[in-house]
Amino acid sequence: MDFKGKVAVITGGASGIGRSVALALAKLGTDIVVADLDDTRLGEVRKEIEGMGRRALAVHCDVLKDADIDNLAEETFKTMSKVDILFNNAGVSIRGRMENISMKDWEWIVGINLFGVVRGIHAFLPHMLERGSGYIINTASGNGLVGSEPPAVASEGIPYTASKFGVVGLSEGLFGYLRPQGIMVSVLCPALVRTSIATNARYIMSDSEKKAKLQDAEKLFTKNMGKAADALDVMESDDAAQLVIKSMEEKRFFIITHESQYEHLMRRGQDYRKLEKYLQDAFGK
């Protein structure tokens, strides 16, 4: 795939994987539209892209809001005239036990993680269909492939897992629908990648529990992580970005960051009766 002269729109583009993909594509000659809520970081990324000699547009955008996505599309077409790549990357997390999570919190996480992707597709897909070309990448999660985790983790991440399973299902449907029309679709399913999603999560728990969770996230997802985090194979966001680029070149549907994910996915897909036994063994009958 030739990235030179293409235009990419990236939500959640001010930090983490979104920022890394924006810069990686810019190095390959792509003009970039970055969308995010963090105006300061948006400005920094825009300057970095312009420093590479590429056109850059930074748009304040909350993917939870229809009006913001509509404005993103309007500004993009006004400035760039076209869109070749859409990276629906913005995402959030909630940690807390199911019985303590309010409907407003459910609406927030599903509204961003799943409907944020839908809004992006709704805004830019007609343009791609009209041109008969394009590439859509949706960010899900390793939790969108295999939702079962150790009980202590699974009990706190059900809304996140549910929203990310939705992104995978949406992406599979889009792949079958759009590929015959010249539009490629991939779904990014990162495992442990160094981003700010854990430290920026909503924690529905006591202050002491939240403090402990934030400390754990700090150990894992900051530059000062220790040996325990190294052993868990935390990937740098720049490395994840290179994987995204390579997967686009090879037109892979699943973009999976860690080899161990393939084993879990294959075990899940081989036989659902085995999956049932695995869940019973892991969580207790």
For 5, residues 6+ apart whose C-beta sits below 8 A from its C-beta are 29, 30, 31
pLDDT at 231: 47
Counting beta carbons within 10 angstroms of the beta carbon of residue 130, is it exposed (0 to 12), middle (13 to 18) or buried (19 or more)?
Answer: exposed
Q: Quick one: tokens of 169?
A: 């299902």
Which regions of the chain are under pLDDT 70?
A: 148-155, 195-203, 205-232, 267-285
pLDDT at 234: 79
> What proportion of the chain, given as a percentage, has pLDDT over 70?
77
pLDDT at 273: 64
Give dist(CA 183, CA 135) in Å, integer.
6
Question: Which residues are part of the catalytic machinery?
Answer: 160
Given this structure, which CATH class describes domain 7-204+234-280? alpha beta
Q: Where are the domains of the chain?
A: 7-204+234-280
pLDDT digits (tens, 9 = 90+) for 66-118: 999 999 999 999 999 999 999 999 999 888 888 999 999 999 999 999 999 99
3-state secondary structure of 177: helix
Strand ranges for the chain from DSSP E: 7-11, 31-36, 56-60, 85-88, 94-96, 134-139, 183-189, 202-204, 254-256
